[in-house]
Amino acid sequence: MSADIAFIPRSYLFVPGDRPERFGKAFGAGADAVVVDLEDAVAPDRKDAARAALAAWRAAGQERGGRLVVRVNDDASPWFADDLDMLRTLGPCEVMLPKAESARQLERLAAALPAGTGVIALIESARGVLAAEAVAAAPGVARLAFGTLDYALDLGLDDDPRGLLYPASRIALASRAAGLPPPVAGVTAGFNDDAALREDFGLARACGFGAKLCVHPRQVAPVHAMLAPSAEQRDWAARVVAAAGAGGGAVQVDGKMVDRPVLVRANAILARGPA
């Protein structure tokens, strides 16, 4: 299913669903989307309170800027049905489904949600990676995301990032083949570790990812900066577009021919804009 989205988020900032006092701060942190988490960040005995807090906060109209994403509990959990009941009355938002492993899961979810609700399918397991193509093509799916920490746990991986190259590439290929935006990279747990953030997202970018899940507001600006083209890239792109627009047959920039793929890349760089 192709995603029809005017603006494609670069950053998704998590906030615990049972901490409504943090919702406003999260929306004011500059992230393109805020993920109110009803799953991992909320203890089992706090699930009801988290749903009630989100519903009350939304009803009070306190949302300012960014887009709301709700990460529900997985569809095999005892809390999933109640999450869906709350979403039917919450109003417009996107939904993040953890442990996405089959198209059938997404079909059932799309049927249970208000029409037009976009779903971010969070792939976190070997089963999910092997089903990435079917998940990406399922009804209602707007984007894929890669839950790297849970995936590493599922496969018993250590800290060697090479273990994430194949699944990340497969998720990116599945997204592209389904006409979805580039997928969303997993979290970097050490929110004070800028080097780890750059390394994690650099690997994801090399595989074709175009956004990142963030666990702290201070991660948002570096993620945006890493997605923005450099001054040198923008200068090159501007010269390519100008040369192509001048016409006159074959065109060269910096001693290289400007053919259609080069022009498309140059326009894409200019469209990304600064951080």
Asked whether residue 113 falls in the same domain as residue 87, the answer is yes
Asked whether residue 197 falls in the same domain as residue 261, the answer is no
Asked whether residue 258 falls in the same domain as residue 179, the answer is no
Q: Is there a domain that residue 222 lies in?
A: yes
When computed from its CA atoms, the radius of gyration of the chain, rounded to whole angstroms, is 20
For the chain, percent of residues with pLDDT exceeding 90: 75
Q: What is the pLDDT of residues 41-82, one digit of tens each?
A: 999 999 999 999 999 999 988 776 679 999 999 999 999 999
Segments forming the whole domain that contains residue 261: 231-272
Asked whether residue 56 falls in the same domain as residue 142, the answer is yes
Asked whether residue 34 falls in the same domain as residue 71, the answer is yes
Q: Is there a domain that residue 4 lies in?
A: no
Asked whether residue 170 falls in the same domain as residue 249, the answer is no
Q: Is there a domain that residue 97 lies in?
A: yes
Asked whether residue 194 falls in the same domain as residue 264, the answer is no
Binding residues for Mg(2+): 124, 150
Asked whether residue 252 falls in the same domain as residue 150, the answer is no
Domain with residue 150: its CATH number is 3.20.20.60
Q: State the average pLDDT for the chain.
A: 90
Q: Is there a domain that residue 240 lies in?
A: yes
Asked whether residue 206 falls in the same domain as residue 94, the answer is yes
Binding residues: 71, 124, 150
Q: What is the pLDDT of residues 137-191, one digit of tens each?
A: 999 999 999 999 999 999 999 989 999 999 999 999 999 999 999 999 999 999 8
pLDDT at 118: 96
Q: Is there a domain that residue 170 lies in?
A: yes
Binding residues for substrate: 71, 124
Q: Is there a domain that residue 223 lies in?
A: yes
Asked whether residue 212 falls in the same domain as residue 237, the answer is no
pLDDT at 261: 79
Q: What token pair was written down for 253?
A: 């920039």
Q: Is there a domain that residue 135 lies in?
A: yes
What's the number of domains the chain is made of? 2
pLDDT at 3: 38
Say if residues 211 and 184 touch (Cβ distance below 8 Å). Answer: yes
Position 129 pLDDT exceeds 80: yes
Q: Is there a domain that residue 3 lies in?
A: no
Q: Could you tell me the pTM of the whole model?
A: 0.87
